[in-house]
Amino acid sequence: MQRPDQPTLGVDLGGTKILAGVVSEDGAVLSSHRRETQADRGFNGVLNAVAEAVDACLQAHDAPRPDLLGIGVAGQVDDVTGTVRFAPNLDWHDEPLGTTLAERLGLDVVVVNDVRAASWGEWKHGAGRGVADLVVVFLGTGVGGGVVSGGALVEGCSNAAGELGHTMLVAGGRRCRCPNRGCLEAYVGGWAVAERAREAIAADPEAGAGLVERAGAADTVTGEHVTDGWRAGDPLATRIHEETVSYLAAGLVGIANAVNPCRIVLGGGVIESVPELVDAVRGALLDRPLAVVADALDVVRAALGSQAGVIGAASYARHRSDGTAGRDVRV
Amino acid sequence: MQRPDQPTLGVDLGGTKILAGVVSEDGAVLSSHRRETQADRGFNGVLNAVAEAVDACLQAHDAPRPDLLGIGVAGQVDDVTGTVRFAPNLDWHDEPLGTTLAERLGLDVVVVNDVRAASWGEWKHGAGRGVADLVVVFLGTGVGGGVVSGGALVEGCSNAAGELGHTMLVAGGRRCRCPNRGCLEAYVGGWAVAERAREAIAADPEAGAGLVERAGAADTVTGEHVTDGWRAGDPLATRIHEETVSYLAAGLVGIANAVNPCRIVLGGGVIESVPELVDAVRGALLDRPLAVVADALDVVRAALGSQAGVIGAASYARHRSDGTAGRDVRV
């Protein structure tokens, strides 16, 4: 049991970077540290890097010392044992992250999926505060999120709920990175926006000349080039951007009708760099759900930026360790 | 507080029929009565019919007498006050169903949306029994359902969650009866299957001759004619049927990825008359969600048939009146 005045450690472990922070009970980051993951050094190497990041945070932080750490990992997590079942970006299979880290650091450790941690962070300390029925969507290269219902996070039968990027957008449509076609992510994920742009350029090289010039070559066009082109008034980039707004709005309408949230929080790297998407999506969305759903709904921008994962992992760990959670996840 | 041995009354109030039943604690229907709604006689007339149906049930039932009634209504319900905000099939706006019925019958009354009641029934006493993370989908003229997460029904911000027929299937696609396009219901609802069939006949009258013969005319073709044609081996009816399976599977994959249920229960009039859909959809579905979602998932047929609403309304009322529910809904 954490004392109320005792901060908690939060770690956001991704395929390319590790963010660690000391987080107060009210979600403030008291000190933080960032380093490269270097996933190719394997489980023990990455664990060393996590431990170093945590040590760096603690050195920069005055007492009281935390004795609980939450770590969000980009992968499937067994939240009872703290084992990471599968983390493709780290090339991990069934790695006992929770127990190993707990032993190494002498802390209680709670392991959670990174997107779930960030969703939790936005709910408890960010743009979703005070709302019992919430949808959080993070748009980056991939698309993921979380659903809060009646004041509880929807976790799912195998702890995998929240894959909102793999809700349906166009049955039989674009191939996704998952086993299916037509997912929301296959239209609005960063990789998919780039793919749509390259296809549009191939279909009309003349219209695509501006984007090709930005990127150097047609096959190196990215979502960022589309954003830059849209800001500069490039017609093809504008069309692709507007289609992205429309796809995202359509997907969110369906999600809203299913779970009837009070609020949809939009975050992630794409929203950080194109915050205009929030107003555009709200405008495209709110007259399309069922009236009873639309009347209760707002769409807002995430508030915690790149710190959502660290704050969320710490806050989630505190929640799970306070004895009120359904499952015992301390290791 | 109901005594454990005391049964509960359940009423399923639809636009065309009223089903009432005395339901035991374990979900058995001890006596039941059915009559026409005759919605055109207005609120008081329908209320009389409900009261008569309840009286008929009670007369056929031995002691102990219930003192609690749950009523499921095809409309938007304020579950705190028991007011029906809007019920298009009954042409009701802001009718105080709960208080009026309670006074009239001398019973505690809990008012709930009819699809939610039926979802609750399948969860507590039907094909969803024992599962903490569940999706129930009812296919009829419309498509609706319910989501259970972590052992609690997802109710939503304005008590409207579960509109699974209005999740997205094809962005920008077929016009729905709701304010949106491309909803699941606009492809697999009974009205939509009929519409798709009529369009297919118009596009290829020769291929459609078999269906036209069944229906008497192209514009009277219904979903039932498609089913009959499919059973008889009619090629166009078979194509439409197979497309329905494919659409339904695609929509359910997206819903499964979002909320990660252990089980999807398929029920409603269409499933009652075409139970083969359950196996067909399961076969078309299970290799397409994310692996961690698919591994945890099964697709099964609803168990309570047309009694799901009565059993569910009674069981839900018992739940809401036992003091453990979050909101006080006794009127």
CA Rg value for chain B:
20
Residues of B in contact with A154 (CB under 8 A): 149-150, 154, 259-260
DSSP summary character for residue A320: H
Q: Residue B163: which of A132, A293, A297 has the nearest Cβ? A: A293
**Whether residue A4 has pLDDT greater than 90:** no
Q: Residue B163: which of A85, A250, A257 has the nearest Cβ? A: A257
Note the pLDDT of residue A217. Answer: 96
In this structure, which amino acid lies at residue B185?
E
Neighbours of A203 (CB within 10 A): 10
CB contact under 8 A, B289 and A250: no
The pLDDT-based confidence of A322 (bands split at 50, 70, 90) is confident
CB contact under 8 A, B158 and A291: no
Task: State how far residue B102 is from chain A, nearest Cα, in angstroms.
Answer: 26
Neighbours of A326 (CB within 10 A): 11
CB contact under 8 A, B167 and A258: yes
State how far the Cα of B7 lies from the Cα of B25, in Å rounded to an integer. 6
Q: Strand pairing partners for A124?
A: none
How high does pLDDT run on average in chain A? 94
Write the pLDDT tens digit of every residue in A263-317: 999 999 999 999 999 999 999 998 899 999 999 999 999 999 999 999 999 999 9
Note the pLDDT of residue B1. Answer: 57
Residues of B in contact with A287 (CB under 8 A): 179
State how far the Cα of B53 lies from the Cα of A305, in Å rounded to an integer. 58
Share of chain B above pLDDT 90, in %: 91
CB contact under 8 A, B288 and A157: no
- Give the burial class of B157: count Cβ atoms within 10 A of its Cβ; 0-12 exposed, 13-18 middle, 19 or more buried: buried
Dihedral over Cα of B27, B125, B83, B42: its sign: negative
Residue A80 corresponds to which tokens in the numbers above? 């009872």
Residues of A in contact with B299 (CB under 8 A): none
Note the pLDDT of residue B325. Answer: 45
State how far the Cα of A146 lies from the Cα of A308, in Å rounded to an integer. 13
- How far apart, in Å, are the Cα atoms of B238 and each of B208, B225, B229, B231, B321? 11, 11, 7, 8, 48
Q: Residue A258: which of B170, B178, B258 has the nearest Cβ? A: B258
Nearest to A97 by CA among A1, A9, A11, A2: A11
State how far the Cα of B286 lies from the Cα of B306, in Å rounded to an integer. 27
Beta strand B17-23 pairing with B29-36: antiparallel
**What value of ipTM does the predicted structure carry?**
0.94
H/E stretch holding A185 reads: helix A185-188
Nearest to B198 by CA among B166, B236, B160: B236
A·B CB contacts under 8 A: 212
CB contact under 8 A, B152 and A149: yes
Q: Residue B150: which of A251, A296, A326 has the nearest Cβ? A: A326
Q: Which residue of A has its CA nearest to B251?
A: A168
CB contact under 8 A, A289 and B259: no
**End-to-end Cα spacing for chain B:** 13
CB contact under 8 A, B290 and A158: no
Nearest to A116 by CA among A83, A150, A86, A71: A71
CB contact under 8 A, B171 and A170: yes
pTM: predicted TM-score of the whole model, two decimal places: 0.94
Q: Are B79 and B329 in contact (CB under 8 A)?
A: yes
Q: Are B252 and B263 in contact (CB under 8 A)?
A: no
CB contact under 8 A, A161 and B262: no
Task: State how far residue A59 is from chain B, nearest Cα, in angstroms.
Answer: 39
**Whether residue B314 has pLDDT greater than 70:** yes
Note the pLDDT of residue B327. Answer: 40
Residues of B in contact with A255 (CB under 8 A): 167, 258
Residues of A in contact with B246 (CB under 8 A): 171-172
**Whether residue B328 has pLDDT greater than 80:** no
Residue A134 corresponds to which tokens in the numbers above? 């919430």
Note the pLDDT of residue A323. Answer: 57
Q: Residue A171: which of B157, B160, B250 has the nearest Cβ? A: B250
- How far apart, in Å, are the Cα atoms of A127 and each of A142, A303, B98? 21, 5, 36
Q: Are B192 and B170 in contact (CB under 8 A)?
A: no
Q: Residue B161: which of A161, A170, A260 has the nearest Cβ? A: A260
Q: Residue A257: which of B152, B166, B247 has the nearest Cβ? A: B166
Note the pLDDT of residue A247. Answer: 97
Q: Residue A168: which of B157, B168, B172 has the nearest Cβ? A: B168
Residues of A in contact with B164 (CB under 8 A): 257-258
**Whether residue B326 has pLDDT greater than 80:** no
State how far the Cα of B323 lies from the Cα of B120, in Å rounded to an integer. 17
Task: State how far residue B248 is from chain A, nearest Cα, in angstroms.
Answer: 10
Residues of A in contact with B171 (CB under 8 A): 169-170, 187, 246-247, 250-251
CB contact under 8 A, B257 and A156: no
CB contact under 8 A, A260 and B163: yes
Residues of A in contact with B131 (CB under 8 A): 157
Mean pLDDT on B156-180: 96
Q: Which residues contact B217 (CB under 8 A, 6 or more apart)?
A: none
CB contact under 8 A, B246 and A168: no
Write the pLDDT tens digit of every residue in A104-146: 999 999 999 999 999 999 999 999 999 999 999 999 999 999 9
Note the pLDDT of residue B241. Answer: 98
Write the pLDDT tens digit of every residue in B18-69: 999 999 999 999 999 999 999 999 999 999 999 999 999 999 888 788 999 9
**Whether residue B331 has pLDDT greater than 60:** no
Write the pLDDT tens digit of every residue in B186-243: 999 999 999 999 999 999 999 999 999 999 999 999 999 999 999 999 999 999 999 9
More confident call, A61 vs A197? A197
CA Rg value for chain A:
20
Residue A37 corresponds to which tokens in the numbers above? 């993951």
- How far apart, in Å, are the Cα atoms of B201 and each of A245, B29, B86, B215? 35, 44, 36, 12
Q: Which residue of A has its CA nearest to B287?
A: A179
CB contact under 8 A, A180 and B255: no
CB contact under 8 A, B260 and A163: yes
Task: State how far residue B234 is from chain A, nearest Cα, in angstroms.
Answer: 24
Residues of A in contact with B167 (CB under 8 A): 167-168, 254-255, 257-258
Share of chain B above pLDDT 70, in %: 96
Task: State how far residue B48 is from chain A, nearest Cα, in angstroms.
Answer: 29
**Whether residue B330 has pLDDT greater than 50:** no
Of A52-61, A225-234, A247-256, the range with the lowest mean pLDDT is A52-61
Q: Are A28 and A39 in contact (CB under 8 A)?
A: no
Q: Residue B250: which of A162, A182, A187 has the nearest Cβ? A: A182
**Whether residue A330 has pLDDT greater than 50:** no
Note the pLDDT of residue B47. Answer: 96
Residue A318 corresponds to which tokens in the numbers above? 């505190």
Note the pLDDT of residue A1. Answer: 57
CB contact under 8 A, A168 and B167: yes
Backbone angles phi, psi at A199, to 5 degrees: -65, -40
Sheet hosting strand B134-139, strand order edge to edge: B152-153, B143-149, B134-139, B263-267, B298-301
